[in-house]
Amino acid sequence: MKERTQMSTLSVLPKPDSPPAPRRLRWILVLLALAQLIFALDLNIVFVALPEIGGELGFPGQTQQLVVSAYVVVAGGFLLFGGRAADLLGKRRIFILALSIYAVSSLAGGLADSAATIIVARVAQGLGGALLLPSTLALVNTLFDEGPRRNRALAVWGGAGASGLTLGALLGGLLTQNFGWPAVFFVNVPLAGIVALAAFFIIPRDAARTVGRKFDLPGAFSVTAGATLLVFGLVEGPELGWGDPVIVVSLLLAIALLALFAVVESRTADPLMPFRLFRNRSLTVGMTITFLFMGTFGVLPYFLTVLLQTVHGFSALQTGLAFLVPSLAIAAGTQLGERLTSRSGTRTTLLIGFGIGIVGTAGLAFGFDADASYSVLVPGLIVSGVGQGIVWTAMWIASSTGTAAEEQGIANGIASTTLNLGNAIGLAVFTVIADLGIEGLTGDALGGAIADGGFSVVLLSAAVMVAGFLITLSLRRVRPVAGR
């Protein structure tokens, strides 16, 4: 009887060696989409609470940005580490660990009573994000067969991310206004905890670890430290000044450590990032496109926020509502991207997405006028958003195509790292361009200069998207896989 009870209990969990049933796959996708929702939610939800956090915890002026930077720097620096950990230690294990870190660090952030405590909490959240994104993508790409099924899964995953960005802005305003800034942290605790607990019962257990494979500690240390310092320098450079000794030393050390990483990887028997992966043209093009995507599409929300709040005087809640339009367009684009990829292939879909994005972004630029109303922005936001959603889905499909299941974690870690670096570099460069000529201005003159700077940046973003279009042409034409 005891033996029968044990067997019944174990049968609740799916076996790691057998593919999940279609019904279980649907529940798995729900969990993975929720995880992406949590990840995207956390990117934006803290922004609108920064003034209240700074006022209560004693952050003077510009140092409030540390609440954001602490997350971005650590998340960007540890993405490769997170991807390889998912491959070697188990995708489900790392997925659950990441969500657990999110839940605990969010609780600590909400309970923080000092600047130091909340910075440490944000560092821990960044580590959780670095483990969560590549492990979630790796689970999607290994549990769903390459082709239409995986394309649909990535579209749902991408749509959840777009929804999270919208909810982040809206929830941030609502929660801060009604419950105070700690609520923007506390909201993650039940969400992450529930998804982590459900993963034990729904996501298949990890297979036994491969004998002989080890973690490349020298490579992990050099690339993590190098990437972290690089992202730190790029994020803090506009704030501290590019000639600041801290920034100069950080960037020089980053270059040295990344060069050391390249040497280590070329000599170790079991590298953290096998360079042979780059022989896969789809991965190489996909990671390049993720870089350009975040350096162009990814910086637009920042400059749009500056325009709406600084020039047009929108409140945090009004700004969140204004982002509903592009977010719905992006969500629609992610679903359209899946259908186009399944019917026409990744190459054609990316070309269509970039083409639509270029036209929409160029049109969006004309709404960056101090005297223009929000309605002037709407057509460009819709068209650009649809193009952005199409590219988002297709670029992850490209990055995952042709890579073995046991290396999906590191492949997605590579693509996620270039995504993060693209955002940091794009924002650093375009911020410098946007700020040209505004020093010393006040009042209407300042508002006009900020709008003009945004106009230049958005047009330049459209121009850089052309590079993404041209790089996509190097992808091979592949007939889409038939299937349901």
pLDDT confidence bin for 387, thresholds 50/70/90:
very high
Give the range among 28-32, 290-294, 391-395, 427-431 with minimum mean pLDDT: 427-431
pLDDT band at 212; cut points 50, 70, 90? low
Instruction: Please give, one letter per residue, the 3-state secondary structure of the chain.
Output: CHHHHHHHHHCCCCCCCCCCCHHHHHHHHHHHHHHHHHHHHHHHCCHHHHHHHHHHHCCCHHHHHHHHHHHHHHHHHHHHHHHHHHHHHCHHHHHHHHHHHHHHHHHHHHHCCCHHHHHHHHHHHHHHHHHHHHHHHHHHHHHCCCCHHHHHHHHHHHHHHHHHHHHHHHHHHHHHHHHCCCHHHHCHHHHHHHHHHHHHHHCCCCCCCCCCCCCCHHHHHHHHHHHHHHHHHHHHHHHHCCCCHHHHHHHHHHHHHHHHHHHHHHHCCCCCCCHHHHHCHHHHHHHHHHHHHHHHHHHHHHHHHHHHHHHCCCCHHHHHHHCHHHHHHHHHHHHHHHHHHHHHCHHHHHHHHHHHHHHHHHHHHCCCCCCCCHHHHHHHHHHHHHHHHHHHHHHHHHHHCCCCHHHHHHHHHHHHHHHHHHHHHHHHHHHHHHCCCCCCCCHHHHHHHHHHHHHHHHHHHHHHHHHHHHHHCCCCCCCCCCCC
Task: State residue 484's pLDDT score.
Answer: 44
The mean pLDDT of 410-438, rounded to a whole number, is: 84
Q: Write down the pLDDT at residue 8.
A: 40
pLDDT at 60: 62
Nearest 5°: the CA angle 338, 344, 350 is 65
Residue 348 vs residue 10, higher pLDDT: 348
How high is the mean pLDDT of the chain?
84
**Is pLDDT above 60 for 372?**
yes
pTM: 0.82
CA distance 476 to 215: 34
Instruction: Check residues 280 and 467 and name the one with the higher pLDDT.
Output: 467
The pLDDT, as a whole number, for residue 71 is 85
Asked whether residue 237 carries a pLDDT value surpassing 90, the answer given is: no
Alpha-carbon dihedral 425, 429, 430, 435, rounded to 10 degrees? 140
- What's at 122, amino acid-wise? R
Position 3 pLDDT exceeds 60: no
Is 169 a residue whose pLDDT tops 80? no
Q: Which amino acid is at 413?
A: G
Question: Which pLDDT band, with edges at 50, 70 and 90, does 456 fall under?
Answer: very high
pLDDT over 80 at 24, yes or no = yes
